[in-house]
Amino acid sequence: MSLRNTVRAFPTLLRVGFADAVAYRAEMLIWVLATTMPLVMLALWSTVAREAPVGRYGEAQFTAYFLATFVVRQITGSWVFYDINFAVRDGTLAMRLLRPVHPLWAYAAEALAAMPMRLAVSLPVAIVAWFVVGSRAMTHDPVLWAVWIASIAGAWLMTLLVNLIIGCAAFFLESSLKVMDAWLVAFFVFSGYLIPIDLFPPRLRAVVEWLPFRFQIGFPVEVVTGAHDRAAALALLGSQWAWVATGLGATALMWRGGLRRFAAYGG
């Protein structure tokens, strides 16, 4: 499993992953349609904002915030934990272990290869958002847009790593689907997916800012809607990538510890 092998195989893995994403495009469309939560929250919050703005949010700001939330979630979403759970349970992970590429790299390639499809579905929403509220509620600073791109990469990596860590938990628990359920609940509430972080009560907000969830959705959305100046955005980007580094370490540990317990059934 040398690095050279991985680098050589990566373009092929990406091509295979892309073909896979294209083959299941109808399913993917349904998954996109099922991402209604930001839109429901948008309806709720704009009703609230029509009477009077909430904090710094008027109707336009909420529209920008939740359309951006939709886009960020579409781009960074990942369900790799599901595949790993399956591969561990039915033993097919053994086949992945036989290949000369590390399974985690292969999973990462599959996730990355779905990106063009994900971008294709989020682009229309992004364009609509830009034309409807772009002039009023989105940043025009090129530096902040650059930070945004870096933050999207960070958020994508964090989501992937969480998926890998929880996927590896299946080595210890037989099935870690319930663990993901619990994680998702916390994620929905504390990531800024349902409520912008700056609307939380101050004490709760202080806690949420120390948790990783916010860097998966809230942070990129805040950057693109102009909630932070350059210095603050860069500082937060630093914290985000510190979480990415932590996630990398945790993934390596989980994988090594878990693999020792892996007994390939059937196969």
Partner 1 sequence: MEGEPLSSPAARAWGASRAARASRYARLLKTQLRASVLLGLQYRADFVLDAAVSIFWTGAAILPLVIVFQSRAAVAGWTFGEALMVTGWFTFLEGVLEGGINPSIADVVDHVRKGTLDFVLLKPADAQFLVSTTRFEPWRAANVLTSGVIFGWAFHLLGRVPSPGAVGTATLAMLAGVAVLYSLKTLAVSAAFYFVRVDNLTHLFDSVFDAARWPASIFRGVVRFVFTFVIPLALMTTYPAQALLGALPTTTLLGAIAGAALALALSRVVWNRAIAHYTSAGG
Q: Which residues bind partner 1 (CB under 8 A)?
A: 27, 30-31, 33-37, 40-41, 43-45, 47-48, 51-52, 54-55, 178, 181-182, 185-186, 188-189, 194-195, 199-201
Please say which residue, 49 or 244, places its beta carbon nearer to partner 1.
Answer: 49
Shortest distance in whole angstroms from residue 57 CB to partner 1: 10
Shortest distance in whole angstroms from residue 204 CB to partner 1: 9
Q: Say which DSSP state 214 is in.
A: G
Shortest distance in whole angstroms from residue 139 CB to partner 1: 25
Please say which residue, 4 or 51, places its beta carbon nearer to partner 1.
Answer: 51
Please say which residue, 2 or 47, places its beta carbon nearer to partner 1.
Answer: 47
Whole-number Cα distances in Å, 252 to 88, 177, 201, 245: 17, 20, 36, 11
Please say which residue, 188 or 262, places its beta carbon nearer to partner 1.
Answer: 188
Amino acid identity, residue 239? Answer: S
Buried/exposed code over 155-178 (b: 16+ C-beta within 10 A; e: otherwise): bbbbbbbbbbbbbbbbbeeeebee
Alpha carbons 161 and 173: distance in angstroms, whole number: 18
Alpha carbons 47 and 24: distance in angstroms, whole number: 37
Shortest distance in whole angstroms from residue 234 CB to partner 1: 28
Please say which residue, 62 or 255, places its beta carbon nearer to partner 1.
Answer: 62
Residue of 57, 37, 32, 35 whose CA lies nearest to 47 = 57
Shortest distance in whole angstroms from residue 93 CB to partner 1: 23
